[in-house]
Structure 1
Amino acid sequence: MAEFLYRVGRWCARRAKTVIAAWALILAAAAAAFVLFGGAFATTLSIPGTPTEEVTDHLAEALPEASGGTGSIVLSTANGDPFTDEQKAAISALIADAADVDGVETVVDPFATEAQREEQQTQIDQGRTQIEDGLAQAEAGRAQIQDARADLDASQAQLDAAREQFGDSADLDAQQAQLDAGYAELEAQEAQLEAGAAELEAQSKSLEDGAVLLDLAADAGVVSSDGSAAIVTVAFTEPQMDVTPETKEDVTAVFEDSPVDGVDFDYSSEMLDAVPQIAGVSEVIGLVVAGIVLVLMLGTFVGAVLPLATALVAVGIGALASMSLSGAVEMTSVTPILGLMLGLAVGIDYSLFIVNRHRRQLKEGYDVDESIALATGTSGNAVVFAGATVLIALVALNITGIPFLGLMGSIGAFCIAIAVLVAITFIPALLRLAGLKILSKRERKAREDHAETRKPDPQPMHTGRAVMRVLVGLGALIAVALPAMDLRLNLPDGSSEQHDTTQYQAYETIAERFGEGQNGSLLVVADLAEAPADDTAALADQVAVAQAVAAEDDVVAVAPIGTSEDGTTMAFQVIPEEGPTSESTQELVHALRDLSVDGVEDVGVAGSASGNIDISEILADALPVYLAVVVGLSLIILILVFRSILVPVLATLGFILSYFAALGGVVAIYQWGWLADVFGVDTPGPILNFLPTLLVGILFGLAMDYMLFIGSGMREAYAHGAPARQSVVLGVRAGRSVVTAAAIIMMAVFGGFIFSHSTMIRPIGFALAFGVLVDAFLVRMLIIPALMHLVGDKAWWLPKWLDRILPDVDVEGAALERRHPHVEKAED
């Protein structure tokens, strides 16, 4: 590989303009692909096979009209007063227009809904009065029939007495016939009366069942109690993931183009669809900091520009090409931004490694073309190895079986691959054009004068100091990692958005005027064991399920949504006590799924809140498996590189500590709210559910990079005969400058995303920046060297049988340097 890269570097240097033009064309092609094929980005996450997905699919078959996606438009009066009749009329007109938009199933008018609710209550009250009057009339009828029966019984007694006294006669027979007819008429009247009373009783039962349902849904209103806010629900014809941006824009345009005087409109995240912003102010600041670090390290503006230019080309291609796939695959808006973060950070670092090696060789008197080829073959080889490590870790995210996470890993890996390719081809071309200007004037003069300074070999650290470094470092890591024990996972809700966004305003208005639970309503679907006999039985079944659901803790309201044609599937909207990311809502979802109701075969729960809970739990279950795979991969790679058992074990344990320390920092700030003002955390809450898994893959790759550049120097010094303890300080001295610069650049780039507009990106940016800080400075340059000092020669022990079968991985390209030794040439 080193020899091949040597030739690649030499070829690219000789054809610099051709290579630069080729990459420019590729960048233009990626931009064109995005313009032509880019599509919508998902605002929600989904995993096939979750309980929520199964319920949603079942509902699509049983109640197709209720299976489409939904969004909310939150209305509020600017002055806090109730809506006026003019405002209500204007809003209702806009709702009617929005309902005519292509792709919209229906738009629910909150004022009409409340009017219907009031009308239903009035009908129930009137029905109760009518039934009570009817039952009273029936009771009066019973009394009249009883009196008439008493009169007939008296007449019958007189007739019987006359028969005993006078015997049978035609007159008496006629009177008996009249009495029998009277009895028959009374029995008919009584039967008719009882039938009417029974019908009234049945009507009363149905009426009371309807009253129960109306009462259970009382707190699921869509107009606030003070009349100053309302929720407009938009139901789309397509499922949530298939609703096009054009449909959403057409709906919002109806309200934005015809504002109602004195009324504010805010939109839930489901109503918005935007291309992710990839170049905010904070990201630019991160790049500026990276540029400053490069200038300070390289001492020349030209040298600082080259890694930045290389990284920008790499991320431009990677991000644009990734976003061009959004029209063909389900992709969240965070996916291309993640690729941007990784591509930008490693693009700068990988280019820096090659540029730094090239500059060192030029100062030693190498010819420009010779130095470019050798730097590409040596440091470029290390870059390929480091990039492959990160790439493998990211691609391995697919083993979790979670599609959106696998796609994130694949897109991130693609951006890493582009960054590596750009570093080993584009940088040699730029270095050829830069020539000796990559060196400062002072460095060029020293090169011409053949000035050479050699630092004396450093002495090993004191053992006591090494012990202290280990204790202090481990103590700090454990202390920082402790908050990770309280980790809670979910997706951010509207409360996590920046306070000036319409999503936050919509969430906050609902929370204040309707209650937190309205932001995370659940969809409960009950399947009956057999179809109801009639409408009355169906209503009774609805009431039984609704009452059972309402009896659960933390349920505020239960509102029926609909019933399938055969009556066996019923859907309800359930309003929990707290928001969608609360622990009580998570417990409620599980309690409802375990609910047992007579005659009900199964109870399922769906909705955004339920889906997020399912995804978070699946991700939490997948994390240990993925972590084990990455740890095993780490051990294998490091054994190959360092030909040692103990060094890989120490390095891997260091990665695990760095990982949990990074998670601890995230929990402390984004979940507990520590330093919330500093990091712009307006509303602390659960941690982004896929962050821990994603962090494993990314931080692992970066940690291996730092271990490679620190540890390879130790290995090289030890292999050249330096004592084990002295090789430790020699390796640290050889790699600390480039690792320090690389880590600071990584922190600057990742840190720029801490203040991103996206609530998903902010904690990811912090986790990566803090993880790099901990791993590079605390683990790789403090704890690992101290532990290596303490174990001495044992650090490089390897069983002979294993040494024989392991391939020789020449990461630093030492064999290449022997094949292409530097030959001093006279300066022209």
Structure 2
Amino acid sequence: MAKLLYRIGDWVYKRPKRVILAWLLIIVALAVVTLSSGMKFSDSFSIPGSKSEKAGKLLEKATSTNKNNDTSTIRLIFKVNNGKTLMDTSIKDSIDKLRTKIQEEDKNVLVVSDPYKMMTISENKKIAYADITYNEKADKVSEESKNKVLQSIGITRDAGIQTELGGDVSFSELEIVGASDAVGLIAAFVVLLITFGLFLAAGLPIMTAIIGLLSGLMCIFISSNYVDTPVFSLSLAAMIGLAVGIDYALFIISRYRQNVGEGYSLQESVSRAMATAGSAVLFAGVTVIIALSGLSLVGVPFLKVMGLGAAAVVLLVVVASLITVPAVISLAGERISPKRKNKIFKSIKVKDKKQKHSFWGGIVSKYPIIIVVSVLIVTALFSYQALHLELGLPDNGAKPKNSTERKGYDIMSEGFGKGINGQLIVVADASKASGNYLVTLQEVTKEIEKLPDIKFISPAIPVGNGKLAMINIIPKSGPNDKETKDLVEKINKEAETIQKNKKVEIMVTGSTAVNIDTENMLSKAMPKFILVIVGLALILMTLVFRSIFVPIKAVLGFMMTIFSTLGFGVMVLQDGHLSGLFNVAAREPVLCFLPILVTGILFGLAMDYEVFLVSRMREEFTKTGNAKQSVISGIKNSGTVVTAAGLIMTAVFLGFAFNVDANVKSMGITLAFGVLFDAFIVRMTFVPAVMVLLGKKTWYMPKWLDKILPKIDVEGEDLMKEEQVS
């Protein structure tokens, strides 16, 4: 592998303009296809084969003959204060005027319900709601229609009525790359500038990362027309692609500059950087791709699509790093040489490169036992928080407190109880029932009504032309409360008795039911997924580092990172600590698929830092045979770059932590902490301390096993041997 990448680096260095032009033409071609085909994203969380999914399909099939089946709603939520009530004439006139204006000005509106006729008014007459029903799905409701609603609600707001919005049409649009993400990029640029001391060298990693990222995102745009793709998968792919793209380019450019500093020519420096750092980039990238693709094992379609989409972006980012980085280095020439520095950095004193070890390397080698114990204590403190992890699906209650959806959510809870935001839909199939099926459905409704935690239950409402009915239930508790989940479980248990005695099949759907099905599916898949991930790590690390203990240490560090990250996620997203800083809804359950998603992503990223840091240590050990000195030397030569890479990736993820979308925000927050913890607590602290304690045993490998395993050269050993022979 090292020899092949050496030749690629040499070939690209001689043809930089042609390589850059070819890549730009690829981007243009993808852009043309994207513009011509468009894009189509969804917000589906259904689980194939689950009861909630089956119930949803039955309802959809029963109503398929209705030409207005594709509908969506915007909920107008009203609250009056200052001693007034909704019964006041002025208040009623303002609401009627608003309803009429919306109905008349938008041809896509089917109906605007009347809260006075529908009796959707709270007992104290202070809170009410009206639904605007559109003749199209939520994702098809135009910005023009949304703007008309936003402008129209000025009628009631000017009349002193607090008016907020809810429903299934979102007003807080997902930002793929927003202002907060730009701040993350700026922070990454600052880290690169401090690392290299040159504006041009600092900008190159970001430029090459964006080239690969744009290519990958446009591939997702195109594939969304053929595959059901969750909209927030774009942000996941963007944050991972951007972070690893910058890091990979950083490693190659850093090694190139080091080679130049050692006296090699510019062309030879590029080729050698590709053979060594490039090999590590390729291996690390493949590891991330495999980890993301591993999400396919879970059996959840939207996670599979998210994982494969992000994996495709990482693949293109890796290719861009290995192809465009040597090209831009060739074009930059001496302008990114380590001998050059911008004026603002010339006064900064740099430590002598010839010193035997860095400050941190000396600390780690001197106090390994204290460091290992301290890291284990810190890990235990964070991991302990994960013991009370609660999972759920995001709703308007998880949105920022200043958003209209969140305000409307809180007003609805205040006026009608928490259960109004998590209504359950019970689908009753009486096709096999004997006698009058309508009477049977009434009896079924009475049986369900006896269950606890039900605030309201509607009569069985026939749906379609068959013997199918829908029963609406409003729980006393909130959509993500344990009591509501228990109610769904009790309904499912009662369904077995009803099926046996009444020959009526009962299924529950709605966000809470989908949440339970998703949680059960992921709980079953998580052990298998972790087993595959851990097994993969052991095999890959053994192949690369020709050691038994290095892979075990790497997996142990990975598990420490995962449990600590989940603990931090519970502290912020669930318990509400630092909620003001990140503008998150306090005391909301953690996104149900976040643990398995974070596990897959952090595995790949953790292995990145393990490869970049430990491969350099092995390279030194191969040369000197001194285990302790190889650890110190590895920290000295790669520590600065790994530190910069960790800070860059953390900055990029933190940018996404301030995204308006609750899913993206939770992923950004947990991944930022996970990378920070893994890079600095595990890889730069725990790993070298353990290696110092193990000494030469770190690199122990049975001879029989070493002979039968295929060899993967990521340190350029073959090149060094050829150099010694010549």
Question: Under a length normalisation based on structure 2, what TM-score does the superposition of the two structures give?
Answer: 0.90
Question: 1:107, 1:622 → 2: CA distance?
Answer: 44
Which amino acid counterpart does residue 41 of structure 1 have in structure 2? F
Change in CA separation of 1:619 and 1:462 when aligned onto 2, cut-off 3 Å: closer
Question: 2:638, 2:41 → 1: CA distance?
Answer: 42
Residue 604 of structure 2: which of 671, 676, 701 is its match?
Answer: 701
Question: 2:676, 2:353 → 1: CA distance?
Answer: 32
Residue 87 of structure 1: which of 76, 84, 94 is its match?
Answer: 94
Q: Verify: 1:492 aligned to 2:391, yes or no.
A: no
Per the alignment, residue 140 of structure 2 pairs with 246
Q: Verify: 1:111 aligned to 2:120, yes or no.
A: no
Q: Verify: 1:641 aligned to 2:544, yes or no.
A: yes
Question: 1:457, 1:566 → 2: CA distance?
Answer: 80
Residue 481 of structure 2: which of 568, 579, 582 is its match?
Answer: 582
Question: 1:782, 1:576 → 2: CA distance?
Answer: 50
Secondary structure of the residue aligned to 1:578 is coil
Total equivalences in the alignment: 703
Deviation sequence 1:584-621 (CA, Å, 0-9, x none): 11111111111144535332111122212212221222
Change in CA separation of 1:500 and 1:8 when aligned onto 2, cut-off 3 Å: same
Question: 1:413, 1:594 → 2: CA distance?
Answer: 40
Change in CA separation of 1:67 and 1:53 when aligned onto 2, cut-off 3 Å: farther
Question: 2:432, 2:104 → 1: CA distance?
Answer: 41
Deviation sequence 1:243-291 (CA, Å, 0-9, x none): 2633465754664465572256544362137873233222111111111
Question: 1:524, 1:621 → 2: CA distance?
Answer: 25
Which amino acid counterpart does residue 58 of structure 2 have in structure 1? H
Per the alignment, residue 45 of structure 2 pairs with 45
Residue 261 of structure 1: which of 141, 152, 155 is its match?
Answer: 155
Per the alignment, residue 370 of structure 1 pairs with 268
Question: 1:336, 1:426 → 2: CA distance?
Answer: 23
Per the alignment, residue 306 of structure 1 pairs with 204
Instruction: Check conservation: 1:493, 1:581, Cα contact below 8 A.
Output: no
Which amino acid counterpart does residue 231 of structure 2 have in structure 1? S
Deviation sequence 1:112-158 (CA, Å, 0-9, x none): 323xxxxxxxxxxxxxxxxxxxxxxxxxxxxxxxxxxxxxxxxxxxx
Q: Quote the offset at 1:773 in angstroms.
A: 1.4
Which amino acid counterpart does residue 76 of structure 1 have in structure 2? F
Secondary structure of the residue aligned to 1:807 is coil
Residue 617 of structure 1: which of 483, 501, 520 is its match?
Answer: 520
Change in CA separation of 1:565 and 1:414 when aligned onto 2, cut-off 3 Å: closer
Question: 1:410, 1:593 → 2: CA distance?
Answer: 34
Residue 578 of structure 2: which of 675, 687, 690 is its match?
Answer: 675
Question: 2:238, 2:687 → 1: CA distance?
Answer: 31
Residue 356 of structure 1: which of 250, 254, 264 is its match?
Answer: 254
Instruction: Check conservation: 1:318, 1:415, Cα contact below 8 A.
Output: yes
Question: 1:783, 1:275 → 2: CA distance?
Answer: 41
Q: Verify: 1:415 aligned to 2:313, yes or no.
A: yes
Which amino acid counterpart does residue 661 of structure 1 have in structure 2? S
Q: Quote the offset at 1:488 in angstroms.
A: 1.2
Change in CA separation of 1:613 and 1:74 when aligned onto 2, cut-off 3 Å: farther
Residue 438 of structure 1: which of 328, 333, 336 is its match?
Answer: 336
Question: 1:44, 1:98 → 2: CA distance?
Answer: 30
Per the alignment, residue 547 of structure 1 pairs with 446
Change in CA separation of 1:267 and 1:22 when aligned onto 2, cut-off 3 Å: farther
Question: 2:725, 2:85 → 1: CA distance?
Answer: 83
Question: 1:565, 1:16 → 2: CA distance?
Answer: 65
Residue 475 of structure 1: which of 377, 386, 399 is its match?
Answer: 377
Secondary structure of the residue aligned to 1:76 is strand
Which amino acid counterpart does residue 371 of structure 2 have in structure 1? R
Instruction: Check conservation: 1:640, 1:808, Cα contact below 8 A.
Output: yes
Give the RMSD, CA atoms, in angstroms: 3.0
Structure 1 stretches of at least 4 aligned residues deviating more than 6 Å after TM superposition: 443-446, 457-464, 820-823
Unmatched 5+ stretches in structure 2: 347-351
Per the alignment, residue 349 of structure 2 pairs with none
Unmatched 5+ stretches in structure 1: 115-221, 447-451, 824-828
Q: Verify: 1:30 aligned to 2:34, yes or no.
A: no
Change in CA separation of 1:285 and 1:321 when aligned onto 2, cut-off 3 Å: same
Q: Alignment identity in percent?
A: 35
Q: Quote the offset at 1:532 in angstroms.
A: 6.7
Which amino acid counterpart does residue 779 of structure 1 have in structure 2? V
Change in CA separation of 1:77 and 1:485 when aligned onto 2, cut-off 3 Å: closer
Change in CA separation of 1:270 and 1:561 when aligned onto 2, cut-off 3 Å: farther
Which amino acid counterpart does residue 603 of structure 1 have in structure 2? I
Deviation sequence 1:724-775 (CA, Å, 0-9, x none): 2332222222221111111111111111111111111112112111111111
Instruction: Check conservation: 1:40, 1:275, Cα contact below 8 A.
Output: no
Q: Quote the offset at 1:341 in angstroms.
A: 0.4
Secondary structure of the residue aligned to 2:659 is coil
Instruction: Check conservation: 1:278, 1:337, Cα contact below 8 A.
Output: yes
Which amino acid counterpart does residue 475 of structure 2 have in structure 1? P
Question: 1:429, 1:462 → 2: CA distance?
Answer: 38
Change in CA separation of 1:727 and 1:112 when aligned onto 2, cut-off 3 Å: same
Question: 1:288, 1:360 → 2: CA distance?
Answer: 25
Question: Under a length normalisation based on structure 1, what TM-score does the superposition of the two structures give?
Answer: 0.79
Q: Quote the offset at 1:347 in angstroms.
A: 0.6
Instruction: Check conservation: 1:77, 1:262, Cα contact below 8 A.
Output: no
Change in CA separation of 1:560 and 1:29 when aligned onto 2, cut-off 3 Å: farther
Q: Larger Rg: 1 or 2?
A: 1
Which amino acid counterpart does residue 305 of structure 1 have in structure 2? G
Per the alignment, residue 455 of structure 1 pairs with 355
Residue 555 of structure 2: which of 648, 652, 662 is its match?
Answer: 652
Residue 615 of structure 2: which of 712, 717, 734 is its match?
Answer: 712
Change in CA separation of 1:725 and 1:77 when aligned onto 2, cut-off 3 Å: closer
Q: Quote the offset at 1:58 in angstroms.
A: 2.2
